[in-house]
Structure 1
Amino acid sequence: MSVLDRSPNALHERVVLADGSTVDICRLDAADAGALTRLHRDLPLRDRWLRFATVSREGLEEYAAGAATGEQVWGAYLGAELVGAVHLATADHDPQQAEVGLAVSHRMQAHGVGTALLERAVRESARRGIRDWTAEVLAENTAMRRVFSDLGLPVERRQDGPSLHIAITLPDPDDPAAATAYTTAAFARAAHAARAGLGPVLRPRSIAVIGVSRRPGSVGRAVLDSLVAGHFTGRLHVVHPHASVIAGVPAAGSVDLLPAPPDLAVLATPPETLPELVEACGRRGTRAVLIVTSGLAAAGVDGAVLDAVHRHGMRLVGPNCLGAINTEPEVRLDATFAPGPAPRGPVGVVTQSGGVAIAVLEALRGLGLGVSTLVSVGDRYDVSSNDLLAWWSEDTTTEVAVLHVESFGNPRAFSRLARRLSARVPVLAVRAANSEVGARAAASHTAASATPAVRRDALYRQAGVQPVDDLGELAGALAALCTSSPAPGDRIAVLGNAGGTNVLAADACVAAGLRVPPLAPATRERLDALLPATATTTGPVDTTAAVDATTFASCLEVLRDAEEVDAVLTVTCPTALGDPGAGLGRVLAAPGRRDIPVVTVALGQRPRTTRVSDPAGLARAASFADPADAVRALAHLVRRGADLAREPGRPLSADEHPVDLAAAREVIAAALVRAPEGGWLDHGECSALLGAAGLELITGQTAATVEEAVAAARDVDGPVALKVVAEGVVHKSERGGVALAVQGDAAVRAAVEGFAARFGDAWRGTIVQPMAPPGVEMLVGVAGDPDFGALVTAGLGGTDTDVADRRWHRLVPMTTTDLGELLDELPLRRGVAARLVDRDRLAVVIARVARLAELLPQIAEMDLNPVICTPDACRLVDARVRVALAATW
């Protein structure tokens, strides 16, 4: 699994180092004591002096045995060799402080092993509640001092003779915003490592193709033919037991007989041969392997292949993949079996499906576009979309990125990488598995709606990724984004020569969330001067069928200059009088007063999606046969403009939304003692948990008997709400366990006796609460996820809770911009909600729920429903919270 796909909680992880090689990091135990002894024993004298301030080997075995059995040492293995170890020794006087020691084998120094181990130690320290490190380092040990300094953590140094006392403050897990410097530095290191790891894949100096037949017809031969036809600039060899030359390429009888270690080996051999071949490549010094073969798991060789890859620190593309392309003139790599040569262009592509990769290549070829880089990751044993996002972030030849991702290895890393890339270039993602439903039946409304597709779409939105639903929409979006500038807003002017098709186009705009506002009087005057009296210029602009191409082009010039227009959609239908769209290329080539995009529709054109070129042959606008397709593409230009204008916001801060973590954790810890596998909090626990975030659940008394409930109701001034407490009952109202506006002893007694009869042996009592004033009922909730992070949901509550399209979602950590956009999506601007809902008060509820979810991964599900909103308050009437051991739901 890629360094950018690793789980932050993994006890064993593969890490890509700064130079692109890989090691396996794991916690050491007694079985590793011998390896730990060898690591320290084999250090050169100077290295041992710098680590221990002595050159003696005395006591090494005792040190290694004690360290390995104390569960405080993490090691980095390259194959069977332990090449580095970090030791955390907790201070006896303060469990929040630990002394850190680091050793790296001499040959692996300056490769990034020490930094990778220290990053692992930071996560381990957070798990164990360690807040500060100390280290004693000889002043002459400049390399170790640099490693500590470059971590991105606050470091203090105090010299004492020949030694430096180093104090390091670790990131505060209770305040993620305060850890920005470290997380930014760690993320930058991981992205750099990912790019270095892809170097031998996308910029190899030499390639060996293994599994090539002498005659055309095999996959391996097709890959070789593509490399030859593409004029790969590096050294190219074939491994074949009986040939000396194939297709003009020199062949070696085995991997061991290659004249030099290849940077990249492409394997297209039967599954059962792969473990031995990958092992041979690793021994020879190959840095990366690309396996096009499928069926490794079915053949039972997947584990052996991965073991060989890990043992030699290689990167792996595939298996079951189409291959890789890099069209840079200095590389000219086409290691695929796709039909035809790879067209060069500005689009970067990563896909799990070889078929999708071929379809994208054909679509780009048809549009006169091409790829900068393409990687088909197939079964994604190692290299993933995250690695490509890191690559493209520094690749200026890529102007648009396309993803086809069926699953995420590390969604949080994906979000950071995609957000960083999308700030520079558009990122498009073909949505996969839209029909997928949640794998677990959820008892809360929020968790029930948190399907994988919902989480994915929230991830895309917050990361600036533009999803497309099919390959046709992808082609249209690429045609538009690679040809036109982003739209500065969503105000669309429709210009056409047929009224009916103009209406279709305008309706499609409105359906896509775009606006078609009336044109300003000054714009209409200019249009009226050009068009016949029977034309319509209010918007959409109907030129009538009688206008010629020159007049139509002049109308387009007017609309491009109009301040009230952000983009223009032209719709032309050729008639016996001519084609009014014939002059559009000339107009688009002329610089306008305003740089706004134009998308065209030429009814009935073939192909359905193409581009309009100017007289010099330069593409100037995307063109479509159908108005609906054109509007979908136009919407991507609008979305791109909005993304570029979007302020990133700042993290929801502890100052504005404080959480008493000690109190919250105490509630959760007590609940998990009662139910170690997790479970639902009772009313009092929910109230205490929410109170830790400054959220007040409407007070209520829990009555164990009918008479206690009657007495509790007498203490309330006015009618009461009665809610059953029954074993296994979460949705009280759906089970007939809620009675509202109950007043008087007799009514209370009758309602509670009804609960007791209805729920029988499961009945445990009744919660008696004062009735909240009427208002707009909202829902705010959380659905936890160990990979994506918690999903915060807001929407209509009460009887509208189960209307799925009335709920909106964001992943934590949320920023102030995420919060504002979520509030904008809620139906709060019209009707009763506009009068009764105080947006700022509701924002506080959502923000504090988001902070709880971010800081407490043990919250598996939460529903605050209803939250009754009035102009003076947001009242939390009921809460359901399920907790679980972190990373287990």
Structure 2
Amino acid sequence: MSVLDGSRASLDQRILLADGTPVDVRSLGPDDAEALVRLHRELPERDRWLRFATVSSHGLAPYATAAAISGQVWGAFLGAELVGAMHLARDTATSAEAEVAVTVGHRMQAHGVGTALLERAVLESRRQGIRRWSAEVLAENTAMVRVFADLGLPTTRQQDGPSMHVVVTLPDDDDPEGTARYSAAALTRSSRAARAGLEPALRPRSVAVVGAGRKRGSVGRAVLDTLVAGGFAGRVHVVHPEAPTIGTIPAVASVELLPEAPDLVILATPPDALPALAEACGRRGARALLIVTSGLAAAGVDGAVLAAVHRHGMRLIGPNCLGLVDTDPEVHLDATFAPAAAPSGTVGVVTQSGGVAIAVLEALRGLGLGVSTLVSVGDRYDVSSNDLLAWWSGDAATSVAVLHVESFGNPRAFSRLARRVSARIPVLAVRAASSDVGARAAASHTAASATPAVRRDALYRQAGVQPVDDLGELSGALAALCWSPPSPGDRVAVLGNAGGTNVLAADACVAAGLRVPPLATATRERLDALLPATAATAGPVDTTAAVDAATFAACLEVLRDAEEIDAIVAVVCPTALGDPGTALGRELARPGRRPVPVLTVALDQRVRVAAVTAPDGRPVAASFADPADAVHALAHLVRRGADLARDPGRPLPAEEHPVDLATARAVVAGVLARAPGGGWLEPDECAALVRAAGLDLLPGRTTRTVDEAVAAAREYGGPVALKAVAEGVVHKSERGGVALAVEGDDAVRAAVTGFAERFGAAWHGTVVQPMAPPGAEMLVGVAGDPDFGALVTAGVGGTGTDVADRRWHRLVPMTTTDLAELLDELPLHRGIAARLVDRDRLAVVIARVARLAELLPQIAEMDLNPVVCTPDACRLVDARVRVAPVTGPPPPGPRADVTTGEKR
């Protein structure tokens, strides 16, 4: 986070109030006592009475000073001004209840300061183990009573004379559903705040451009010309130190001389000029900045620009960006230096790359589509894709969203926002490159597979975001989603007049995970009545090249009526006998048909994707030059249909998957006390940790000498497994540190002696376990991440562990639907797993690992491998866990979801 001024350490969070005003929230200390006293003393008598049941300011100074010193006060700052404070007071350091009090400066009341501070209080209370708040509020202070009631938390009120005693029950680790309800309410508030915060940028009443030259050829002049040519509905001002006019717009010599406080200022000047300009814009009352200039960090001015933005409560788009567009007829804002005006439409676009933004605009133009809003966020110092997701969540003018995200500032917030938006409209994301360097250094099998790309794809999947790999696929997906209904299923019929191309289309369907089932007898009979005897009607349907356009359209009608079919790919090839494609537009425009998506392939088509149009000219389907492109686009329609039908599920129930959190935390604390930087748990510690999650770990004993190992093996009786305990050795079997089915004293002595010789000074013991019964071997694991949260991995274990494409992943927190879908992906219906793996028992293992990972962010890596599955049990044979301290600022509160404040 940036520094508000030079006198303090970095801020905890930058958040948005209900009206979109950015404020900074941080804990207060002794240096803030004067500001806290001033906040209370400047309250009007009426406010002071409602807050303290007194109109006197006597005694406020000692109270405020003592509160600040206690470290349990958090303040909201608008620039350098403290506009609100929240105080948590608990009787003892271990008390589960605290008294909470909020004070908001008079001019900032009804802006959402109190609610934002209470959201921060929820975060701090959970960190400190506080379960309940109590507050004494005057009954006549209805505004404060309503703030408590509207938080989305269980609240009780009891009036005692003029006072109201309010008790608020906070989200609890053992109540994931209550936590989810609160998170949903907070997300609604943060989304509204984000939309309000973007109003000055996307719906400005006035725009000022700084950096537009007298001659064309500069970026600033290009933005100004585009803005004017686009017919911006508001007022346009220009700042130029010398010229009286730029183009047709009168200019003023400085920002201070602007005739009004602009909503949006566009800055296209050299980096060195930006700190002073940002400060001047803030002083003049600007509400948002758009900085197209690049190179701020290299010039060393990035911190100063951000400080000015924060000091004056402005929003910032960029720097190093193409600009922004809002095609709303009441706005007509096109503030970019793209080569052509942005086409108007219903596609929302946010990109980090200006080049990608231009490419998307050209692709949309080629399809006859356009944008509702486009924002190039560039280096994303403030406004990010999260802000735009919040905007689109309430924007009826946007029917499809497109994201190009090179990195995630707040991936957990992205997931929550994208999930909400994708429930309303399709969300597409162009996959950017991801580095796997960090994963190659990971020690555990799970962490090695948890590459940045895997985390990103898991994030997209659980949030309902559909990724595309290139701009060509994006064009096809947009055409399909804009012109066809979602597919209710994955059963595809292929219809064509060129048999070889039909086969290519059918093969592409299978490769894409779609089904091409045989057609029902009744459907085939209707097709046989239309087609020559040489036609093939079992599926794919080959009409032969001899059919005319009307017959081909009639066959399409039959397939649209077929209940056994969810979608259709129609392949047409013009011949000397005619072009079957000429009747498709009319047939697809006919009303009253089942909403079955139809994508066409025209083998003579010169462009990659185009529209099939109705007689009145409106697009009714997408047409492709290549069958594979058509099928890829169809897969997006199938995915969209599945997403719309998907039950999001509920949080994994704590009562079914309890975690002994006190024991688990004690284990982790013990390891971190021994190794403050983190490290691998000893076998006994691993056992205690996984058993705290209620998991069935095979019994074992850690022995330190050969004789102890022999004695332990005798007690277990029968063959045993021996595992070396050696410093720095994680994958024991790969290093010769595992001996299986060892039986008899001599064999045990020989194996343990071999460990000691092999590992030398690093060897300090042997784990002795009874042999697990034979079964299917699975892997369940965790790879922690401070930004994304823990990634849970499941897949084939034992000797098949290193087959990377046999692992499947989900991020926590997982829902019951996430768990069910993960189990559906696992190969439980094939081979030995079909006979030995009880799905419900494996589900319990995965769910408890997921809950443990969610509740203990210190888990950096965990491998349960193998988990031996038999029809009556899933037994953990080995567990490896690495923990690391959780450092850095607290996780973002809900109101900070859309304001990461990140520079990189």
Give the TM bin, normalised by the shorter chain: over 0.9
Query: Which residue of 1 is the match for residue 798 of structure 2?
Result: 798
Report how far residue 436 of structure 1 moved: 4.1
Give the stretch that moved more between structures: 53-62 or 826-835.
Answer: 53-62
Query: Which residue of 2 is the match for residue 492 of structure 1?
Result: 492
Report how far residue 273 of structure 1 moved: 0.9
Q: Does 1:236 align with 2:236?
A: yes
CA–CA separation in structure 2 for the residues paired with 1:98 and 1:440: 46
CA–CA separation in structure 1 for the residues paired with 2:439 and 2:715: 46
Q: Which amino acid aligns with 1:561?
A: D
CA–CA separation in structure 2 for the residues paired with 1:669 and 1:93: 18
Question: Number of paired residues?
Answer: 882
Map 1:300-315 to 2 at 5 A: 300-315=300-315
Q: Does 1:474 align with 2:474?
A: yes
Q: Give SS of 1:438's match.
A: helix
For the Cα contact (< 8 Å) 1:447–1:861, is it kept in 2? Answer: yes
CA–CA separation in structure 2 for the residues paired with 1:831 and 1:63: 71
Q: Give SS of 1:715's match.
A: helix
For the Cα contact (< 8 Å) 1:774–1:868, is it kept in 2? Answer: yes
Unmatched runs of 5 consecutive residues or more in structure 2 = 3-9, 890-904
Q: Give SS of 2:563's match.
A: coil
Give the stretch that moved more between structures: 58-67 or 364-373.
Answer: 58-67
Query: Which residue of 2 is the match for residue 866 of structure 1?
Result: 866
Report how far residue 356 of structure 1 moved: 0.6
Report how far residue 852 of structure 1 moved: 0.6
Report how far residue 561 of structure 1 moved: 1.1
Report how far residue 337 of structure 1 moved: 1.0
Query: Which residue of 2 is the match for residue 205 of structure 1?
Result: 205
Per-residue CA deviation, residues 533-574 of structure 1 (Å, 9 max, x unaligned), is 221111111112222222211111111111111111011222
Report how far residue 795 of structure 1 moved: 0.3
Query: Which residue of 2 is the match for residue 677 of structure 1?
Result: 677
Q: Give SS of 2:716's match.
A: coil
Q: Residues 876 and 436 from structure 1, CA distance in 2 versus in 1: closer, same or farther, beyond 3 angstroms?
A: closer
Q: Which amino acid aligns with 1:790?
A: A
Q: Give SS of 2:866's match.
A: strand
Q: Does 1:774 align with 2:789?
A: no
For the Cα contact (< 8 Å) 1:557–1:592, is it kept in 2? Answer: no
Q: Which amino acid aligns with 2:274?
A: L
Q: Does 1:90 align with 2:90?
A: yes
For the Cα contact (< 8 Å) 2:176–2:652, is it kept in 1? Answer: no
Report how far residue 19 of structure 1 moved: 0.8
Per-residue CA deviation, residues 135-191 of structure 1 (Å, 9 max, x unaligned), is 222222222222222222222223333322222222214433222332222111111
Unmatched runs of 5 consecutive residues or more in structure 1 = 3-9
Structure scoring higher RCO (CA < 8 A, sep ≥ 6) equals: 2
Q: Which amino acid aligns with 1:594?
A: R
For the Cα contact (< 8 Å) 2:439–2:448, is it kept in 1? Answer: no
CA–CA separation in structure 2 for the residues paired with 1:289 and 1:173: 41
Q: Which amino acid aligns with 2:144?
A: M
Q: Which amino acid aligns with 2:179?
A: A
Per-residue CA deviation, residues 568-611 of structure 1 (Å, 9 max, x unaligned), is 10112222222221211111111353210001111141211111
Q: Which amino acid aligns with 2:404?
A: H
For the Cα contact (< 8 Å) 1:493–1:568, is it kept in 2? Answer: yes
Q: Give SS of 2:753's match.
A: helix
Report how far residue 101 of structure 1 moved: 1.8
For the Cα contact (< 8 Å) 1:687–1:696, is it kept in 2? Answer: no
Give the stretch that moved more between structures: 378-387 or 755-764.
Answer: 755-764
Query: Which residue of 1 is the match for residue 214 of structure 2?
Result: 214
CA–CA separation in structure 1 for the residues paired with 2:704 and 2:436: 43
Give the stretch that moved more between structures: 628-637 or 241-250.
Answer: 241-250
Q: Give SS of 2:483's match.
A: coil
CA–CA separation in structure 2 for the residues paired with 1:711 and 1:782: 34
Q: Which amino acid aligns with 2:796?
A: L
CA–CA separation in structure 2 for the residues paired with 1:92 and 1:506: 69
Q: Which amino acid aligns with 1:807?
A: R
Report how far residue 887 of structure 1 moved: 4.6
Map 1:375-454 to 2 at 5 A: 375-438=375-438, 441-454=441-454
Q: Does 1:277 align with 2:288?
A: no
Give the stretch that moved more between structures: 251-260 or 596-605.
Answer: 251-260
Q: Does 1:738 align with 2:750?
A: no
Q: Does 1:465 align with 2:465?
A: yes
Q: Which amino acid aligns with 1:832?
A: I
Q: Residues 608 and 799 from structure 1, CA distance in 2 versus in 1: closer, same or farther, beyond 3 angstroms?
A: same
Report how far residue 34 of structure 1 moved: 1.7
For the Cα contact (< 8 Å) 2:435–2:451, is it kept in 1? Answer: no
Q: Residues 887 and 652 from structure 1, CA distance in 2 versus in 1: closer, same or farther, beyond 3 angstroms?
A: farther
For the Cα contact (< 8 Å) 2:207–2:236, is it kept in 1? Answer: yes
Query: Which residue of 2 is the match for residue 536 of structure 1?
Result: 536
Q: Give SS of 2:655's match.
A: coil
Q: Does 1:554 align with 2:563?
A: no
Q: Give SS of 1:135's match.
A: strand
Q: Which amino acid aligns with 1:374?
A: L
Report how far residue 415 of structure 1 moved: 0.8
Map 1:338-353 to 2 at 5 A: 338-353=338-353
For the Cα contact (< 8 Å) 1:428–1:465, is it kept in 2? Answer: yes
CA–CA separation in structure 2 for the residues paired with 1:590 and 1:165: 64
Report how far residue 94 of structure 1 moved: 6.0
For the Cα contact (< 8 Å) 1:174–1:855, is it kept in 2? Answer: no
Map 1:629-708 to 2 at 5 A: 629-708=629-708
Q: Does 1:26 align with 2:33?
A: no
Per-residue CA deviation, residues 255-304 of structure 1 (Å, 9 max, x unaligned), is 12111111111111111111111111111111111111111111111111
Q: Which amino acid aligns with 1:282?
A: G
CA–CA separation in structure 2 for the residues paired with 1:622 and 1:295: 42
Query: Which residue of 2 is the match for residue 337 of structure 1?
Result: 337
Query: Which residue of 2 is the match for residue 835 of structure 1?
Result: 835
Q: Give SS of 2:607's match.
A: coil
TM-score, normalisation: structure 2: 0.96
For the Cα contact (< 8 Å) 1:785–1:887, is it kept in 2? Answer: no
Q: Which amino acid aligns with 1:580?
A: P
Q: Residues 407 and 481 from structure 1, CA distance in 2 versus in 1: closer, same or farther, beyond 3 angstroms?
A: same
For the Cα contact (< 8 Å) 1:721–1:742, is it kept in 2? Answer: yes
Q: Give SS of 2:85's match.
A: strand
Q: Does 1:595 align with 2:595?
A: yes
Query: Which residue of 2 is the match for residue 226 of structure 1?
Result: 226
Per-residue CA deviation, residues 299-344 of structure 1 (Å, 9 max, x unaligned), is 1111111111111111111111111111111111111111222111
CA–CA separation in structure 1 for the residues paired with 2:728 and 2:740: 22
CA–CA separation in structure 1 for the residues paired with 2:888 and 2:130: 23
Report how far residue 48 of structure 1 moved: 2.2
| Identity level (%) | 78
Q: Give SS of 1:495's match.
A: strand
Per-residue CA deviation, residues 24-74 of structure 1 (Å, 9 max, x unaligned), is 111111221221122122222222222222233333332232222211111
Query: Which residue of 1 is the match for residue 505 of structure 2?
Result: 505
Query: Which residue of 1 is the match for residue 571 of structure 2?
Result: 571
Q: Which amino acid aligns with 2:64?
A: A
Give the stretch that moved more between structures: 810-819 or 154-163.
Answer: 154-163
CA–CA separation in structure 2 for the residues paired with 1:440 and 1:302: 33
- After superposition, the CA RMSD in angstroms is 1.6
CA–CA separation in structure 1 for the residues paired with 2:562 and 2:619: 23
Q: Does 1:847 align with 2:855?
A: no
Per-residue CA deviation, residues 607-656 of structure 1 (Å, 9 max, x unaligned), is 11111101111111111111111111010011101111111111100111
Q: Which amino acid aligns with 1:862?
A: M
Q: Which amino acid aligns with 1:213?
A: G
Map 1:37-436 to 2 at 5 A: 37-92=37-92, 95-436=95-436
Report how far residue 347 of structure 1 moved: 0.4
CA–CA separation in structure 2 for the residues paired with 1:682 and 1:866: 18
Give the stretch that moved more between structures: 477-486 or 69-78.
Answer: 69-78
Q: Give SS of 1:372's match.
A: strand
Query: Which residue of 2 is the match for residue 880 of structure 1?
Result: 880
Q: Give SS of 1:74's match.
A: strand
Report how far residue 383 of structure 1 moved: 0.5
Give the stretch that moved more between structures: 561-570 or 182-191.
Answer: 182-191
For the Cα contact (< 8 Å) 2:347–2:370, is it kept in 1? Answer: yes
For the Cα contact (< 8 Å) 1:604–1:626, is it kept in 2? Answer: no
Give the stretch that moved more between structures: 312-321 or 657-666.
Answer: 657-666
Query: Which residue of 2 is the match for residue 6 of structure 1?
Result: none
Q: Which amino acid aligns with 1:495?
A: L
Q: Does 1:718 align with 2:718?
A: yes
Q: Which amino acid aligns with 1:89?
A: A
Query: Which residue of 1 is the match for residue 894 of structure 2?
Result: none
